Structure 1
Amino acid sequence: MAQELIQLQPGTQVERWKIEKKLGEGGFGAVYKVSDSTGQYALKVEGVNEQIQVLKMEVFVLTELGKRGGRHFCKIHDKGRYGTFNYVVMTLVGKSLQDLRKEGPGQHMSLGTAIGCGIQALEGLEDLHAIGYLHRDVKPGNYTIGRIGLDELRKIYVLDFGMARKFTNEQGIIRKPRAAAGFRGTVRYAPISCHLQRELCRKDDVESWLYMLVELTTGNLPWKNIQDMHQVGEYKKRCHNTAINELFVGCPYEYRELMTHIDNLKYYDAPDYQYCYRTIRRALTSNGVKELPYDWENKM
């Protein structure tokens, strides 16, 4: 049973952090824009009595990534407990790729921008996999751009590790798959394994990433209007077999090569990230487009 969400009013102080406004809320709790003498940040809160402590996972994963020099992640500036909630203060980021996609003509990005976002989004997953974690909810709503300055406007951040799972043991060995795993993630972008309730692995994050890449590129996924989870799973299977053209209509040919690579991977295999970057960069050349400037740069 979910606890009551912690609601903080603008002007409230949480230690040295002044609440400016609420940015949103999820199953875990709420996110606020806060400030102190050094600038503006995001503060996430979660009740101390929540059954599943999502923030703890978030803090742990981001701390590990910070130690390893992760390229696409928020920095943690403070964390603690205040009254009835735990909180973490991190980098304040900009708009999500979901919002930026919808702002584009035809609700999609230009090809160069979609590919640039795709490369950075996959780099984030590569770094996450390198510390032994799967994301398990890869989607455009969980990636954002930075806020201020050209470098930040061109940087993609990976967010939300509430569904992340460690796939290696303490010795760094990949854990054996569980016989059955419940559905995790978001139906539209979920990998086929998720529909089959199989244990997820690295290739599944990359499969979700490819669906996201298609949507950023064309504004569409062929199953987007189907509500039934089982039917969506069946549609995805067809797209990997006989209906490949339905998925990749309006996409560079290279996206099909990415799918072939992903489909050939098994549970214990590491995706060949370098092959993926090379293949997707080739799509820039073969379509005569440039990655930069990104679509939103001239609007900011």
Structure 2
Amino acid sequence: MATICELVQLPVGSECGKWTILKKLGEGAFGAVYLVSQKEKPKVEYALKVEAESDPLGLLKMEVAVLLEVKKQKIVGRHFLELADRGNLPQKFNYMVMTLVGKSLQDLRKTAPFNKFSMGTAISVARQSLEAVEDLHNIGFLHRDIKPGNYTIGRKEMHELRKVYMLDFGMARKFAREDGTLRNPRARAGFRGTVKYAPLACHIQREQCRKDDIESWLYMVVEMTCGRLPWRNLTESDDVGVFKKECKTTRLRCLFGGCPREFTEVFPILDKGKFFDAPEYTTIYELLEKAMVNTKSNEFPYDWE
């Protein structure tokens, strides 16, 4: 099957609605991202994401739904980007335009010494990325693909090198109805997310809930802190699932070696929560604060400043 990026290629200089394509910023399995500007404001640059209209996954629709809700709830700017425009060219592709950001946490970690952040940066970024998860949950959505590639920092030109943004809501799912009641879990749910960071629920095809997003967040935080996850070389999803299960009990040290001991206290907090329960975000923030004090770390400056 052809990927979306093979289907939709926008040449530099071409127009997409009121936007001019300046260059391609990157592409993944789900589509391409371009640097664009408006004809009347050529100096103000944005990111345009594109997806073939025929694409069966239709991830852009969910992305737009999340960012519209973010706008409605007035939480744009804290850890979410502004949706500047959206549209489609009939029979061709759908697109969305949003704020331009800096490098992803994934890229920053990979270029850092020993593939990890300093303790202060790791803990501080952990707090910001958890705030984003909590904000998303508060507007009724699960992310279901929490990983370092789906977080970025702001741009230097905007003086936002200390700001962490959450991206990519194509895998998101609305878990709360308009009246605030929660949707019941499906009997069986397909695998959603990225094997390396997916929660255990994913491996056993159980419906994900809020605490599962935080489990993925914890794996990401461990990797940022000590530079690796112990199952990084396993290729089979089932083997990774077994390893993760063992890391909660007999192989705790295997996962958390090199991390503040406060990180090990997150699993018990998550495990006592039931499917419909809101996670204890405040308790986890307190653990992060404690870790910062006990490791005698400084929050700023960040490693990349």
Q: How far 1:162 moved relative to its partner? A: 0.6
2:37 corresponds to which of 12, 15, 35:
35
1:97 corresponds to which of 100, 105, 108:
105
Q: Deviations over 1:107-126 (max 9, x none)?
A: 10001101111111111110
Q: Distance in 2 between matches of 1:5 and 1:275?
A: 46
Write out aligned runs for 1:148-167 (5 A): 148-149=156-157, 151-167=159-175
Q: How far 1:150 moved relative to its partner? A: 6.6
Q: Distance in 2 between matches of 1:96 and 1:169?
A: 32
Q: Distance in 1 between matches of 2:23 and 2:256?
A: 41
User: Which structure 2 residue ranges, 5 or more long, are not aligned?
Assistant: none
User: Cα RMSD (Å) of the superposition?
Assistant: 1.4
- Counterpart position of 2:93: 85
2:44 partner amino acid: G
- Does 2:33 correspond to 1:57? no
2:70 partner amino acid: L
2:230 corresponds to which of 186, 203, 222:
222
2:19 partner amino acid: W
Q: Distance in 2 between matches of 1:135 and 1:192?
A: 15
15 and 150 in structure 1: CA distance in 2 versus 1, 3 angstrom threshold: closer
- Counterpart position of 1:107: 115
Does structure 2 conserve the Cα–Cα contact (< 8 Å) formed by 1:126 and 1:273? Answer: yes
Does structure 2 conserve the Cα–Cα contact (< 8 Å) formed by 1:133 and 1:165? Answer: yes
Q: Secondary structure in 2 aligned to 1:144?
A: strand
Which sits farther off after the overlay, 200-209 or 275-284?
275-284
Q: Deviations over 1:193-238 (max 9, x none)?
A: 1101100000000000000000000001111101111111000000
TM-score normalised per structure 1:
0.95
Q: Distance in 2 between matches of 1:229 and 1:287?
A: 34
Q: Secondary structure in 2 aligned to 1:275?
A: helix
Q: Secondary structure in 2 aligned to 1:208?
A: helix
Q: Distance in 1 between matches of 2:162 and 2:30?
A: 29
- Counterpart position of 2:24: 22
- Does 2:68 correspond to 1:66? no
Q: How far 1:268 moved relative to its partner? A: 1.0
Q: Distance in 2 between matches of 1:87 and 1:168?
A: 26
Q: How far 1:82 moved relative to its partner? A: 2.7
- Does 2:284 correspond to 1:284? no
Runs of 4+ more than 4 Å apart: 1-4
Q: Deviations over 1:8-67 (max 9, x none)?
A: 111112232111111122333211011221511000111222223211111110110122
Percent pairwise identity: 57
Does structure 2 conserve the Cα–Cα contact (< 8 Å) formed by 1:5 and 1:30? Answer: no
1:46 corresponds to which of 38, 47, 51:
51
149 and 116 in structure 1: CA distance in 2 versus 1, 3 angstrom threshold: farther
- Does 2:13 correspond to 1:11? yes
Q: Distance in 2 between matches of 1:104 and 1:141?
A: 15
Q: Secondary structure in 1 aligned to 2:213?
A: helix
- Counterpart position of 1:232: 240
State the aligned residue count.
Answer: 297
User: Which structure 1 residue ranges, 5 or more long, are not aligned?
Assistant: none
Does structure 2 conserve the Cα–Cα contact (< 8 Å) formed by 1:19 and 1:35? Answer: yes
Does structure 2 conserve the Cα–Cα contact (< 8 Å) formed by 1:45 and 1:85? Answer: yes
Q: How far 1:171 moved relative to its partner? A: 2.1
Q: How far 1:151 moved relative to its partner? A: 4.1
TM-score normalised per structure 2:
0.94
Q: How far 1:258 moved relative to its partner? A: 1.5
